[in-house]
């Protein structure tokens, strides 16, 4: 059985993934933004899940989460599920936090990043991006960046299985009650890539939608763009991958 961190697991896709992985017998660490949000996770904690708390918009909080996890038994996988659709938290939560956790958690052999079909509308330009979240960020850009991050990690860490998952437009708090995609398929791909041993799940560098690999935005596999993104994030956070 595996030990897996699922960020943003108080509701939606993250909670569904954590519930399913616990039901399969895995050791799951759930995450909430603050203690108030963590109260929603009591059912999972009662079933044996571990808990980390920290606001992913705050870099010091992300560092504290990483330090706490590095002092605990090593993780086998991280599902970077937490995401924000609009507002100033978009870039810090969707891009900077998963980058920092990837850099600061050296042990996991499997990494799953939350992408979106919106990444096709993202712009592979880094100038002028507000990495600190003082102003509203572009959701499409953030998803292009994090999908490229997943591909870059796959290239630079060949011993790690790193993939991006587009869960579709699913009926979560973010997607709304009338979203047309299948919620189960949305989180099932995350779980599979985090723990399964079939040949497809043991591949790296993919962009996945409903358990199938698809071709992402051309910039995702542009190594020059990947390197610029990693260099910018390293400079911005004073933390190299």
Catalytically annotated residue among 99, 139, 207, 209: 139
Tell me the sheet residues that pair with 218: none
> Domain range holding 118?
3-237
Q: Can 139 be counted among the known catalytic residues?
A: yes
- The answer to whether 85 and 174 have CB atoms below 8 angstroms apart is yes
H or E element in which residue 163 lies: strand 161-166
Q: Give the residue from 95, 99, 87, 101 showing the smallest Cα distance to 134.
A: 87
Q: Give the domain CATH number at 127.
A: 3.40.50.720
Catalytically annotated residue among 99, 143, 207, 209: 143
Distances (CA, A) of 1 to 21, 26, 72, 186, 199: 10, 5, 16, 22, 18
Residue 204: left if φ>0, alpha if ψ -120 to 50, beta else—which one? beta
The pLDDT tens digits of the residues spanning 168-198 come to: 764 555 545 554 556 667 778 999 999 999 9
Q: What pTM was computed for the model?
A: 0.94
The pLDDT tens digits of the residues spanning 93-142 come to: 999 999 999 999 998 999 999 999 999 999 999 999 999 999 999 999 99
Report CA 62 to chain centroid distance, whole Å: 13
Tokens representing residue 53 in the block: 């708390």
Tally of domains in the chain: 1
The length of the chain is 241
Q: Can 143 be counted among the known catalytic residues?
A: yes
């Amino acid at each position: 059985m595996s030990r897996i961190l699922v960020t943003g697991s108080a509701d939606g896709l993250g909670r569904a993934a954590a519930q399913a992985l616990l039901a399969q017998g895995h050791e799951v660490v759930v995450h909430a933004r603050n203690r108030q949000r963590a109260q929603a996770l009591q059912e999972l904690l009662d079933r044996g899940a571990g808990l980390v708390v920290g606001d992913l918009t705050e870099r010091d909080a992300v560092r504290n989460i990483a330090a706490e996890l590095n002092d605990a038994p090593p993780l086998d996988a991280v599902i970077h599920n937490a995401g924000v659709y609009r507002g100033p938290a978009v870039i810090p939560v969707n891009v900077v936090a998963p980058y920092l956790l990837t850099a600061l958690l050296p042990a996991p052999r499997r990494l799953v990043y939350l992408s979106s079909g919106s990444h096709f509308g993202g712009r592979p330009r880094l100038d002028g991006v507000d990495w600190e979240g003082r102003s509203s960020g572009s959701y499409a850009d953030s998803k292009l960046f994090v999908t490229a991050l997943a591909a870059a990690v796959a290239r630079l860490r060949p011993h790690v299985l790193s993939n991006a998952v587009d869960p579709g437009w699913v009926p979560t708090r973010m997607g709304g009650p009338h979203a047309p995609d299948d919620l189960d398929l949305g989180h099932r791909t995350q779980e599979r890539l985090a723990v399964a041993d079939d040949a497809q799940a043991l591949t790296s560098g993919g962009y996945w939608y409903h358990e199938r690999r698809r071709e992402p935005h051309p910039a995702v596999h542009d190594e020059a763009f990947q390197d610029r993104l990693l260099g910018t994030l390293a400079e911005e956070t004073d933390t190299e991958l």
